[in-house]
Amino acid sequence: MGMFPGGLRMWADARTVDAVAVTNETTAAVRAVSISKRYGSGGSTVTALDGVSVAFERGRFTVIVGPSGSGKSTLLHCLAGLDSPDAGEIYLGATPLRRLGDRQLTRLRRERIGFVFQSYNLVPMLTAGENITLPLRLGGRTPDREWTDRVVSAVGLTDRLSHRPSELSGGQQQRVAVARALVTRPDVVVADEPTGNLDSVAGTDLLRFLRRCADEFGQTVIVVTHDPDAASYADRVVFLSDGRVVDDLTAPTAELVRAGVRRTGAPA
Amino acid sequence: MIWLTVRGLRARWWRAFLTGLVAAVGIAIVAGTFIVSDTADRFGGDREIDLVRQIMLIAGGVALLVGAFVLNLTISVSVAQRRREMGLLRCVGAEVGQLRRSVLLEASVIGVLGAVTGLGLGVGVALLLRTLINTESFPGHLPGSGLVLAPRTVLAALLIGCVVTVLSALGPAVRAGRLAPVAALHDARPAARRLTVVRMVPGTLLLGAGLAAEPVAVFTLNGFLMLPGGALALAGVRLAGPAFAGRLAEVVGAPVAGASGVPGALGRLNAARSPERTAAMASALMIGLTLLTLIEVLYASARAPLLDEYRRDRADFRLTTFDKSTGASTATMPAGIVDRLRTLDGVDIVVSDRCVPGKDASALFCATDPAALARVVDLEAVAGGLDRLGAGGIAMSEDDAARTGAGMGSTVTVVTERATRTFTLAATYRDTPNFGGFLLTPEGFGQLGGTPTPGLVYMRAADGADRPALEAAVRRIASAADPAIEVQRRADLHERDLRQMAQAAAVYRTLSGLAAVVGLFGVVGTLVLSIVERRRELGLLRAVGMQRRQIRRMVRAEAVIVALVGAVLGLGLGVLFGWGGARVLAHSSAPSEFTLPVPVIALLAVLVAGAGVVAAVLPARLASRVDVLRALAAD
């Protein structure tokens, strides 16, 4: 923390608590309230999240940055109902997640959350089109043609729908994954290092597209990354270190994010 | 989810096909048996076909058991390998039940595929079976026109196929459902499964119970106890195997690794580092091997007394009167026949005996000249002298002496229908399967009220005699005396028994061999999947300078080591159960003497190692073709 020993932490905590308080349930798409998560047992316990409280407003594009081991992926998994915290609560809209059974959580993931991972996003034996409509078909729903077409054309994949993932470039595969995430009109789209495996052109492309999702579709997007440039496309950046939220920037620029990253000790 | 399963099957059709083949072998045997028995019902076949049917159904059951075992293995590996895909499906909203149903649906499709293939192969099995039935090796007769494929057979095949595959897929299906969605985010390598108490405790208990059934079966002379015992032991090894498979792989792998340098050493490490996989592959091979070893031990044990008798029988010709109505050779021959035979040229010795049963039919008392008899049948006198019997002496087998507690000079009371007399035990000898009676001199026999007219005549030709001429002369005399007299040549008498036994053994050997081949399929499939799983690692080895040839050698070493682990387990269990089986048989009507066919077992071990090399051909080729750059770039 260098320049602001102790002070920054206090300031950040105050802001976070503030955010939870002012973001009422109708505007927060998803929020975490004092969540903690530990891995392992006995002497080798690792604290991944240590009382994190953070809310994500509807229609905004938020980026979570932090060094590796800062707990950012764990936070994302908890927000998305993939992992459950040891303490605290996650609210998706008004729905508390911790007490949900597996069946309800699965339905919730299928209908209200969209996922994009760093890699292995697509089921290899299905075509791009089938991958996109997979969540709908798993739920036994017929895809809404108009919306599906709009999503597909937005990601620019109209002429690639019958291709297998192995026949697509990395960037195209990630765009298929984003289309799949969008197709159910979820409350929130979460992406874990979505540009990690892409070259810089394809990466920039994908981030621009996620930006457009928030702008054009009013889609809530949360992205975990350690790329400060990625953060510059976001409305807001949350800094995580050692399982705590240590900073929170609105309307960030790459420079501001780099400065923040330097303060929190993240490798740029 | 149905469409997803179908797409998955289409993408993995070759794997599904291989998996289906595993079930097909057992189905083919069962279906072939059904076809044969339906054909027998339609066109008329012997009752004896029932026996064939029973044997074949047991064989089919065993093949299905091994098949189920290998299916369980293959489906487990396939599910473990697809964990990322399944995790991804869970992430995007597939429910636990959907994944489980998908695995089970895939299994039943594989079952149907296996059933259809099995039916096709079943026709072949039926044709082969008919050929076998109409030769000497199997009893019965089946008309050679047309085969009957009843709807019942088709239905049974489909049903068996589905039931076996779905049962085998239950465990993997449950595990598929348990996969956490985050599994999609981690590396493709499934975490090494820890040996849970859940597996170890019942595994050890099953193995213990199975092995304990063995001495109990031997002690109580109840051979049927060994069937569930064997099944329990095999299941126990499957469950508890991972506990010792790694160590065993290290031990048996040491010479293999020593013989093939760095690739061999790596192969040994690969075999030892995933005890679960090694144990699964080894135990798949083990079942067939256990059966093969068991068959070989039982065959050797049942053959030993026959060979022993053959060796000790020095009579070139044996004349019997066969009572066709009772099947017993109790009828007598004309008294003069012995003297007439003695006059023939080239005869060394002619001995006759005549036996009467004891009153309770438990013993047979035979009148003969024991000293002369000892020249045509090597009686291997144990104590006393067969030539010193006299009118009041009796000789008995050492077994009878041990059983009755009689010692040299003991008084033996003989009770027959007509008389009761006491004799003195003057000699004991080693009995043969066909010769174990109480021996008396003709004088002693007279005291029992019998006349020693010949019942059985043994003849020995002199050295250098013209045997064909002698045989012709013997046959002439015999048919002139009584057309019912049968002249048997020494070789015919024994070799027919030995040949029949060898043919039966060949059939059982083939059936057990099928089980071993099914097990080999399991090894091939598992190795192929493990290669796919290790692509990245293989790419790395290639990148740091390993030749394709060395990669192949490494995979081969692993396969051979796994096969040898299976050999240790299978040969061990097979010898153990063979020993028990021989001990039980020794007390039954079929004589048997536990014999370890060391050369055959050594040959089996060599064959298994060879089978490992064969099983490695496809996986090794796949492994050596891994593209370095793509393997390293893959996630």
Q: Which residue(s) pair with B295 in the sheet?
A: none
Give residue B193's pLDDT: 52
Asked if the C-beta of B16 comes within 8 angstroms of chain A's C-beta atoms, the answer is no
**Nearest-by-CA chain B residue for A108:** B93
Q: Which residues between 48 and 87 in chain B have a beta carbon less than 8 angstroms from any beta carbon of chain A? A: 84-85
| Lowest mean pLDDT, pick from A129-133, A218-222, B199-203 | B199-203
Kindly list the distances between the CA atom of residue B426 and the CA atoms of B155, B174, B352, in Å, as whole numbers in the listed order.
68, 73, 21
Q: Note the pLDDT tens digit of each residue in B498-515.
A: 888 888 888 888 888 888
Give me the residue from B12, B98, B184 closest to A120, CB to CB: B184
pLDDT value at residue B327: 47
Average pLDDT of chain A, as a whole number = 82
Mean per-residue pLDDT of chain B:
82
**What part of B 333-352 touches A (C-beta under 8 Å)?**
none
Three-class SS state of B322: coil
Neighbour-count burial of A258, counting CB atoms closer than 10 A to its CB (0-12 exposed, 13-18 middle, 19+ buried) = middle
Residue A162 lies in a domain: yes
Which residues in chain B are closer than 8 Å to A83, comparing Cβ atoms? 182
Exposed (0-12), middle (13-18) or buried (19+): which is A159, by Cβ within 10 Å? Answer: exposed
B residues 361..390 contacting A (CB < 8 A): none
Q: Does A103 touch chain B (CB under 8 A)?
A: yes
pLDDT tens sequence across B282-322: 888 888 898 899 889 989 988 888 888 888 888 888 888 76
Check residue B465 and give its pLDDT: 82
Closest by CA to B571, choosing from B293, B336, B180, is B293
Return the number of other C-beta atoms located less than 10 Å from residue B633's C-beta. 11
Q: Does B93 touch chain A (CB under 8 A)?
A: yes
Residue A49 placed within a domain: no
Question: pLDDT (tens digit, 9 = 90+) per residue, B414-448?
Answer: 887 777 888 888 888 887 766 777 888 888 887 77
Largest CA distance in chain B: 100
Q: B137 — phi, psi (to 5°)?
A: -70, -30
Domain assignment of residue A25, yes or no = no
Q: Is A192 left (phi over 0), alpha (psi -120 to 50) or beta?
A: beta
Q: Give the range of the structural domain holding residue A173, as residue numbers without chain letter.
A: 58-77+100-264
Determine the 3-state secondary structure of B144 from DSSP.
coil
Alpha carbon distance, N-terminus to C-terminus of chain A: 15
Within-domain flag for A52: no
A84 in contact with B, Cβ within 8 Å: no
Whether residue B183 is predicted with pLDDT greater than 90 in this model: the reply is no
Can you tell me the distance from the alpha carbon of B554 to that of B573, in angstroms, rounded to the nearest whole number? 29
Of the listed ranges A204-213, B339-348, B361-370, B489-498, the one predicted with least confidence: B361-370
If you measure CA to CA, which chain B residue comes closest to A107? B93
Residue B302 has a pLDDT of 86
Q: Name the more confident of B60 and B329.
A: B60
Task: Say what the pLDDT of residue B562 is.
Answer: 92
Number of structural domains, chain A?
A: 1
C-alpha A193/C-alpha A170 separation (Å) is 13
Our CA-based measurement puts residue B12 at a distance from the nearest CA of chain A, in whole angstroms, of 9
Query: Which has more confidence, A62 or B39?
Result: A62
**% of chain B exceeding 70 in pLDDT:** 91
- Which SS3 state, helix, strand or coil, does residue A54 take? strand
CB spacing of A125 vs B8 below 8 angstroms: yes
Report the pLDDT averaged over residues A231-252.
86
- B373-397 core/surface letters (b: 16 or more CB in 10 A; e: else): bbbbbbbebeebebeebeebbbbbb
| C-alpha span between A79 and A64 (Å, rounded) | 12
Q: Is residue A88 part of a domain?
A: no
Q: Of B4, B93, B185, which has the smallest distance from its Cβ to A135's Cβ?
A: B93
Q: To the nearest whole angstrom, how far is the Cα of A86 from the nearest Cα of chain B? A: 16
Q: Is the pLDDT of residue B563 over 80?
A: yes
Q: Is the pLDDT of residue B16 over 90?
A: no
**pLDDT cut 90: percent of chain B above it:** 14
CB B429 within 8 A of CB B475: no
Residue of B nearest to A127 (CA): B7
| Residue A38 placed within a domain | no
Question: Does A126 contact B at CB distance below 8 Å?
Answer: yes
Phi and psi, residue B320, nearest 5°: -130, 155
Average pLDDT over residues B179-192: 62
Using a CB–CB cutoff of 8 Å, tell me whether A23 touches chain B: no
pLDDT tens, residue by residue, A68-108: 888 888 899 899 888 889 999 999 988 898 888 888 888 88
Residues 6+ apart with CB under 8 A from A166: A124
> B557: pLDDT confidence band, cut at 50, 70 and 90?
very high
Q: Are B87 and B535 in contact (CB under 8 A)?
A: no
Q: What's the pLDDT at B103?
A: 92
Amino acid identity of residue B558, one-letter, is E
* B93 with A110: Cβ contact below 8 A: yes
Query: Model-level pTM greater than 0.80?
Result: no
B194 Cβ under 8 Å from any chain A Cβ? no
Lowest mean pLDDT among B3-12, B219-228, B478-487: B219-228
CA atoms within 13 A on the CB side of B62: 28
**Cβ(A190)–Cβ(A116) under 8 Å?**
yes
| Two tokens, residue A159 | 């002429």
Taking 60 as the threshold, does the pLDDT of residue B88 lie above it?
yes
Cα-based angle B118, B123, B129 (whole degrees, multiple of 5): 115
Looking at B47-150, list the stretches that DSSP marks H as alpha helix, in order from N- to C-terminal side: 49-81, 83-91, 96-133
The answer to whether residue A36 is domain-embedded is no
Cα A30 to Cα A114, A187, B15: the distances in Å are 13, 8, 43
CATH number at residue A109: 3.40.50.300
Confidence of residue B195 (pLDDT cuts 50, 70, 90): low
Q: Residue A6: which pLDDT band, with cuts at 50, 70 and 90?
A: very low
Query: Which ipTM value was assigned to this complex?
Result: 0.80
Q: What is the mean pLDDT of residues B569-597?
A: 83
Asked if B39 and B150 touch (Cβ cutoff 8 Å), the reply is no
Distance between first and last Cα of chain B: 27
Q: Where are the alpha helices (H) located in B454-489, listed in sequence order?
A: 467-481
Secondary structure class of B104 (helix, strand, coil) = helix
Q: Check if A102 contacts B (Cβ < 8 Å).
A: yes
Residue A163, domain member (yes or no): yes
* DSSP SS3 for B320: strand
Number of Cβ within a 10 Å radius of residue B248: 23
- Report pLDDT digits (tens) over B311-360: 888 888 888 876 555 545 555 777 788 888 888 888 888 888 877 777 76
Q: Which of B506, B503, B519, B504 lies closest to B25 in space, CA to CA? A: B519
Strands A113-116 and A188-192: parallel
Helix (H) or strand (E) holding B213: helix B197-220
Query: What does the alpha-carbon distance between residue A97 and residue A78 come to, in Å, rounded to a whole number?
Result: 9
CB contact under 8 A, A102 and B185: no
Question: Could you identify the residue written with the tokens 């892409």?
Answer: A198
Per-residue pLDDT reduced to its tens digit, B225-257: 777 788 788 888 878 888 888 888 889 888 888
CB proximity A134 to B under 8 Å: yes
Closest-CA distance, B89 to chain A, in angstroms, reads: 8
- Residue A134 pLDDT more than 60? yes
Cα angle B302, B303, B305 (rounded to 5 degrees) comes to 85
Those residues whose C-beta lies under 8 Å from the C-beta of residue B208, and which sit 6 or more positions away, are B236
Of the segments A10-24, B88-102, B232-246, which one has the largest average pLDDT value?
A: B88-102
* Range name among B128-132, B212-216, B452-456 with the lowest pLDDT average: B452-456
* B127 at interface of A, judged by CB pairs closer than 8 A: no
Residues 32-71 of A with CB under 8 A from B: none
| Chain A residues in contact with B85 (beta carbon < 8 A) | 123-124
For residues A150 and B597, give the distance between their C-alpha atoms in angstroms, rounded to a whole number.
76
Chain A residues touching residue B89 (CB < 8 angstroms) = 123, 134, 138
- Cβ neighbours for B547, distance < 8 A, ≥ 6 positions apart: none
* 3-class SS shares of chain B: helix, strand, coil, % to 5: 70, 10, 20
Backbone phi and psi for residue A66, each to the nearest 5 degrees, phi listed first: 165, 160
Which segments within B407-541 are labelled E, that is strand? 411-415, 420-429, 438-440, 456-461, 485-489
Cα–Cα distance between B151 and B11 in angstroms, integer? Answer: 32
Q: In this complex, is the C-beta atom of A121 within 8 Å of any C-beta atom belonging to chain B?
A: yes
Q: Which of A117, A148, A32 is nearest to A79 (CA)?
A: A32
Count of beta carbons in the 10 Å neighbourhood of residue B334: 15
Is the minimum CB–CB distance between A87 and chain B shorter than 8 Å? Answer: no
3-state secondary structure of A113: strand
User: Environment class of residue B314 by beta-carbon count within 10 Å: exposed (0-12), middle (13-18) or buried (19+)?
Assistant: middle
Judged by a CB distance cut-off of 8 A, whether residue A77 touches chain B is yes
Count of beta carbons in the 10 Å neighbourhood of residue A54 = 23
Q: Give me the total of CB pairs closer than 8 Å, taking one residue from chain A and one from chain B.
A: 69
Contact B204, B178 (CB under 8 A): no
Answer whether residue B583 shows pLDDT above 60.
yes
Query: Nearest C-alpha of chain B: how many angstroms from A75?
Result: 13
